[in-house]
Amino acid sequence: MKTAIITGASSGLGREFVRQLSEVFPEIESYWLIARRKERLEEMAQALPDKTIECLGLDLCDPMSFVVLQEKLTAQHPEVALLVNNAGCGYLGNLGEVETSAQTRMVDLNLRALTAVTNMTIPLMPRGGRILNVSSIASFCPNPRMTVYSSTKAYVSSFTVGLAEELRPRGISVTAVCPGPMKTEFLEVGRITGNSKMFASLPYCDQVRVAGGALRAARAGRTIYTPRLFYKLYRCIAKVTPVKLMVKLTKT
């Protein structure tokens, strides 16, 4: 049975990926949903009665979750047609001023978990398989006051481009979606709301449109997908402008 694995499926963009998945990938019959809040995943499962849904309540910051997932993959051997690495978090604040556990959580979730889940899933992907990584406009240039977050997302975008080349001979595509700010729990979790002039002034992306666009970009095998013209232009500017100059303008 063709299976999709979606991390961070319990809210925000992840929820939208699950909701819209069957429109873009109607052939996928089984979804594995991963997040800590299992009860939310179960609620979503009830709204999708025509799909076979597994709800995995895993904390991806805990390395034991990789053991649990690997064991399940080995036991069930699903045909993974789509992996969506969506779980992520971003804390606002200077290094040295935010607690160490928050700084390292971004590394553990955005980078280590994404790497681990991808590595254990690739052997189960057939030709035509797709990996969709949720990156950010923060990957285009470092963002002071979110230095760790922007660095983790630079990894996600770079990882995507490298992996896309590695997997090309196997007919598997890898896509990074790079959204601007979206009104999701991310802003509260990261203590951003009310604390960042930059976030208050930027144009927002709608997570419903981002999810649909990203799924279609993955289906089309695109490597980088940036929603909204404003952020496409930002990406071009960040490419041609010296980073030491850019970073004067990109403080969150």
Ligand X SMILES: NC(=O)c1ccc[n+]([C@@H]2O[C@H](COP(=O)([O-])OP(=O)(O)OC[C@H]3O[C@@H](n4cnc5c(N)ncnc54)[C@H](OP(=O)(O)O)[C@@H]3O)[C@@H](O)[C@H]2O)c1
Q: How far is the CB of 15 from ligand X (least distance, A)?
A: 7
How far apart are the C-alpha atoms of 5 and 78, rounded to whole Å?
Answer: 10
Tokens of 42: 């179960």
Is 186 a binding residue for ligand X by CB under 6 A? The answer is yes
Backbone angles phi, psi at 57, to 5 degrees: -85, 85
116 sits near ligand X (criterion: CB under 6 A): no
Binding of ligand X at residue 151 (CB under 6 A)?
A: no
Give alpha helix (H) positions in the chain: 12-24, 38-46, 64-76, 100-106, 114-121, 147-167, 186-189, 197-201, 207-219, 229-240, 243-246
- Residues binding ligand X: what is the number (CB under 6 A)? 29
Q: Is 228 left (phi over 0), alpha (psi -120 to 50) or beta?
A: left
Interface positions, 21-60, toward ligand X (CB under 6 A): 35-37, 58-60
Among 5, 61, 73, 141, binds ligand X (CB under 6 A): 61
Window 71-90: residues binding ligand X (CB under 6 A): 86-90
4, 8, 18, 154: which one binds ligand X (CB under 6 A):
8
Between 45 and 134, whose beta carbon lies closer to ligand X? 134
**Identity at 120, one-letter amino acid code:** M
Q: Which residues bind ligand X (CB under 6 A)?
A: 8-14, 35-37, 58-61, 86-90, 109, 134, 136, 179, 181-182, 184-186, 189
